[in-house]
Structure 1
């Protein structure tokens, strides 16, 4: 009995020692782990899947080039299922059990807001490529969340840019707003546009997520005198709105935010209806920048689909984290987070940017012009608001 007890105690000590060794800092492992946490299923899957693809492509490039600080990078991938509770839970899992150096994702504002408290608790930086709501990186007191970052510009930034564009480039004097009243994203965009637009808002109509028939609301505005139709929302509803408005005879320019920037928009709207469409973008696919063209070509070759601004933002997120890890000379999450604060003039394919004191990137806003279903122009706007 005594001998059995001795071996039992020795075995338990070995288990405890092994367990302690497995809980070492992220920087002490043989590889550098980065979490990829996107909406691979659910209503935002079109965004999440493309961004997850871009993360994997960037990591493959980095590994082929020797890794970061001499270590290969490992992607720990999870599906948030476009569910905020799942996003919060996965953040905890990545930051504690998986011990990643940083987390990229999720795509949507709601999921990012749900995930941030878990990231703060785990003390691991979380970077959303596309959570654009102004308040997502700050708490109820207006204080910046210490571990939350993004590579996209904010809603007020792009809402202001669209209003300035309507004022200066389209010389619009009257506008109609058709907004998604079920989305904080759209509500914020609507408020900023209304504040910055110099002309008159002759009507402000609403729709809700998931609607497909907009004939009634379009009939309400059809005979109004206006110069532009502003549609703050996502491609799922913006596509049918473009299609039905054009089929109803509405020929005014249609303006929208980055949520319209997905190839599915063209499928839903119909190629013949994609005229006088303008939307904000973080990324210009037709740019002559060799780095952009190489990314676009490689992404198409790898995944057999076109790159867009969402893929570009996710790709930049990987590389800006690479720079932070290199500068920190560590993959310890706390040290990586500190290094992100000193990132300046980062040469991303979505533009050169630095992080400000709110952890937002400072960059210009691109507005894409679509005529005959083709991208024919790009306008750069520096919002003043």
Structure 2
């Protein structure tokens, strides 16, 4: 449009101009009020977006599990938005690095709620790491869905606000014990456990309970206190190899599993090693060394190219394109958790708990996720994987016959 020049008005024209100016000021105030009502960090035009906060430990001892989970979460949010969102609503995923530091993690949760105004928070793979964030969230009546922390005690520690997208340690420990007896023909078990974390205390507790209930005998329990104490394990195992145990349960943190397995082998024990989902890492083969022997571990799904599931195959391909490496089960857990949280938020934006219950069933890469009868932990099958001679293969899925009470 061609611009025209007008002579400034004076006298009787002043009053209408003042009225117009006042109207403009009021309009600007109104617009400002709208802008200020949009949560911080929300892009313009996305005030109705599904806002998910994520805390993952991208640095520190938990990073080997949380980096894949964070990547899976980002991929899920991207794909939801590529499909046009959920009911037309885009997903905004705001992510912070917890740095494997509980003080930092609690501050991250507070920031996600107070500054970013998220509707739900997800993340992390360790029970000790999750609790500080979940308690902050519960204090603000915000639901936290952990993608990989497996303590079945968590819901009771943060009632009504802490949900698991994964199974509990009692479930995976029971599956490991039953497998040891039915498939490895083990009647005796040696237990090597890190006594410094909730996960590595609970896993052997439930394993020993289920193994004994199945008629097995625990020959010895060898505790150690964190990674710095692993060198003492071989000495503590002296004399344990005679009589040789049928299986060795190793309960270890994700960064310590290789060293703990090496300590068992250094003591002359050749029985199969069995462990939990902390062993699900592409670094395990190199960390355990060429003399690691047979290792079996429980995890949340067979996320490998041998999987016959087309959704899993598509996920592996996209993940590799984005990140240049193959995903593991923790990457799939992060992916599933964003989908569950987003769908729950879409169903019930003001009450995520109601949305989780209304979700009924989500068929994810790591199995079916549903929260029925006030449960905060889904009932899922356990996948068993074997590492032998540097090669990893799936041993199939198992639903344990009996699961110890939390």
1:360 to 377, 380, 390: 377
**Is residue 347–residue 359 contact of structure 2 (8 Å, CA) maintained in 1?**
no
Pairing of 1:121-140 with structure 2 (within 5 A)? 121-139=139-157
Structure with max Cα Rg: 2
C-alpha contact 1:175 1:228 (8 A) present in aligned 2:
yes
Alignment of 1:1-385 (within 5 A): 17=33, 21-22=37-38, 29-139=47-157, 145-197=159-211, 198-211=215-228, 212-213=230-231, 214-246=233-265, 248-270=267-289, 272-285=290-303, 286-328=306-348, 332=349, 334-356=350-372, 357-383=374-400, 384-385=402-403
Contact between 1:35 and 1:77, CA under 8 Å: does it hold in 2?
yes
Counterparts of 2:239 and 2:330, CA distance in 1: 34
The CA deviation at 1:317 is 0.3
Secondary structure of the residue aligned to 2:297 is: strand
C-alpha RMSD over aligned residues = 2.6
Do the aligned partners of 2:166 and 2:378 also contact (CA within 8 Å) in 1? yes
**Do the aligned residues in 1 keep the contact of 2:76 with 2:335 (CA within 8 Å)?**
yes
Query: Which whole-Å CA distance do the structure 2 matches of 1:133 and 1:375 have between them?
Result: 26
Equivalent pairs counted in the alignment come to 368
Equivalents in 1 of 2:276, 2:221: separation in Å? 17
Q: Is the 8 A contact 2:125 2:150 kept in 1?
A: no
* CA-to-aligned-CA distance 1:242-265 (integer Å, 9 cap, x gap): 234335542211000111111122
Q: In structure 2, do the counterparts of structure 1 residues 30 and 162 end up closer, same or farther at CA, with 3 Å as the change threshold?
A: same
**In structure 2, C-alpha distance between the alignment counterparts of 1:291 and 1:81, rounded to whole Å:** 31
The answer as to whether partners of 1:190 and 1:232 remain within 8 angstroms in 2 is yes
CA distance in 1, matches of 2:193, 2:264: 14
CA gap 1:86/1:358 in 2 versus in 1, 3 angstroms? farther
Displacement over 4 Å in runs of 4+: 13-20
Q: Which runs of 5+ in 2 are unaligned?
A: 1-25
- Using the size of structure 1 for normalisation, the TM-score is 0.88
Checking the alignment, whether the CA contact within 8 Å between 1:41 and 1:79 is kept in structure 2 is: yes
Classify 1:18/1:72 alpha carbon distance in 2 versus 1 (closer, same or farther; 3 Å): closer
Q: Deviations over 1:284-329 (max 9, x none)?
A: 023210101111122122111221111111100011123223333x
CA displacement at 1:342 relative to structure 2: 2.5
DSSP-derived class of the 1:273 partner: coil
Alpha-carbon distance in 2 for matches of 1:228, 1:32 = 47
- Following superposition, the deviation at residue 339 of structure 1 comes to 0.8
CA shift for structure 1 position 17? 4.2
Once the two structures are superposed, residues 94-117 of structure 1 have per-residue CA deviations (whole angstroms, 9 ceiling, x without a partner) of 122211121111322112111122
